[in-house]
Amino acid sequence: MKLKLLVVFFTSCLLSGQSGLNNAKLGQPPTDSWPIYHGDYSGRRFSTLTKINANNISSLSLAWAYRLSAGGGAVKATPLMIDGVLYFTLPDHVWAVDARTGRENWHHQWTNTGGIHIGNRGVGAYGSWLYFETPDCHLVSLNMKDGSERWRKKICDLDQFYFGSVAPVIIKNHVITGVSGDDLDTPGYLESHDPETGDLQWRTYTVPMKKGDPGWDTWPSIEAASHGGGMTWQPVTYDPELNLIYVTTGNPQPVIASKNRPGSNAYTGSIVALNGDTGKFVWGFQSSPHDTHDWDSTETAVLIDDVVNGQPRKLIAQAARNGHFFVLDRTNGKAILSSEYVKTNWAKGYDAKGQPIPDPAKMPQVAGALVSPNQGGAANWPPPTFNPMTGLFYVNANRAFSIYYIYDLDDNPQGWGGTDQGGYSETMLQAIDYKTGKVRWSHKWEGGGRSGLLSTAGNLVFVGGPNNAFVALNATTGEPLWHAGLTGQVSNGPITYEMDGTQYVIVAAGDTLWAFAMFAK
């Protein structure tokens, strides 16, 4: 009897997340875990699991629901699932929840000293440790076993109105962190920290800080550039073979008034490739040159592998906030394809680099300029998904119009310097053929629906729809196949994993985590 109890005890420990993360899983498509924000380094949010599929989705049922024990607010984090435990966040809070039952294992609460609490993307994991950012500018490491703090390190200056919200990404022995902030005249940057000690390894700014830095000649002065924005508030993607980190950057400053920053303002509104060990700049592509509409280009840059003329090709794709879809060679940043994925009116075409050419008539005006998309963008922070089996890039999109006004006509404007007033809008899920840039199918939402996405080899796309619905669509055709009514709007990107022969799908809606499963009959 004692031996049997010991076996049960040790089995329970193993199933409760005691053994930690095998870091090799970070570069593999997720199956029995979801070990990183996007599932793996590629940003695809694609699962090879097929037990839940387009033929049997009608049998998907609720397994459990967990309502947050504290904190309040909506879960914008993508949970990680490691060794049978889910780890997720709100600003100032981290939870560990049993992935089979939804039972809380532990809850860590950070004592904050300020900062903006708009949201938190989640944790990163390395071995038996977790990492998360706090609103008051700290990177914190916890023990995965019990949530106790190992160390804390300052990553930004709260007095300069930075804040932390990014899910850290672990690359080899580097914890990669970004910074958040709006209405700032400060520079964006990416940092790398030692996972053992938290010590800073390198910091790379997204805008030029001195003459000779990449893109310095696209600003009128280093003074303007070094106060130029370009925040890094989304998790990075990574190619282990090239050892390149792909960081997507935010808008320039001032946001709408731009009299003091003529030029394209590199590398704001861009995809930037950095060396994974040193943070050294390798290449940059500007998806929103000289942005005057608050179109952060922080949307996920997704890695795609293709064969062109019999030769393997390494690509990277982004559905940017400005309504344009880009496919680049991720070895050098050269554009292969540039197109619209919703109808826009602000660009006059593309330059020789494949970057949009802004139309001066559509920049904010004293009398107003009717512009599409609006400030919220054709896409926003909720992550897209790419399914290599269908060849489709899926993104929740918005076709919307705003009238943009400028009211600060000073030679040195501050802050926003203008605003927009919204008008007509419609939302839809766009399935984009990455080889042509054409929308293969479009599923319109009545009343909104802009959550993050998940696609699977079961020919499914999971997405949050309007009226608190969680929806599964046929990935090939866009046909709605299944939905469940939740108690709130889907607020994060869904994940999936398999345990004990059962496939689960996890999604957050407001302050509740919902688990659906396909149980064997």
- Give the Cα-Cα-Cα angle 102, 504, 464 (nearest 5 degrees): 90
The length of the chain in residues reads 521
Cβ-contact 392, 386 below 8 angstroms = yes
Q: Residue 500: which region, alpha, beta or left (left: phi > 0; alpha: psi -120 to 50)? A: left
DSSP type of residue 34? B
* Residue 294 is among the residues annotated as catalytic for this protein: yes
Sheet of 495-499, strands arranged across: 61-67, 512-518, 502-509, 495-499
Computed over its alpha carbons, how large is the radius of gyration of the chain? Answer: 22
Strand ranges (E), 138-280: 138-143, 149-154, 169-171, 174-178, 189-193, 200-205, 237-239, 244-248, 270-275
Residue 419 CA to residue 198 CA, distance in Å, equals 40
Active-site position among 83, 291, 294, 511: 294
Residue 78 CA to residue 36 CA, distance in Å, equals 9
Residue 138 CA to residue 472 CA, distance in Å, equals 37
Strand partners, 427: 398, 445
Residue 298 CA to residue 139 CA, distance in Å, equals 21
DSSP codes of every residue in 429-497: EEEEETTT--EEEEEEETT-----EEEETTTEEEEE-STTEEEEEETTT--EEEEEE-SS-B-S--EEE
**Strand, helix or coil at 160?**
helix
Residue 122 CA to residue 118 CA, distance in Å, equals 13
Residue 215 CA to residue 239 CA, distance in Å, equals 24
Cβ-contact 494, 40 below 8 angstroms = no
Residue 13 belongs to what H/E stretch? helix 2-14
- Give the Cα-Cα-Cα angle 362, 363, 369 (nearest 5 degrees): 55
Angstrom CA distances, 279 to 50, 193, 197, 297, stand at 38, 11, 19, 20
Active-site residue numbers? 294
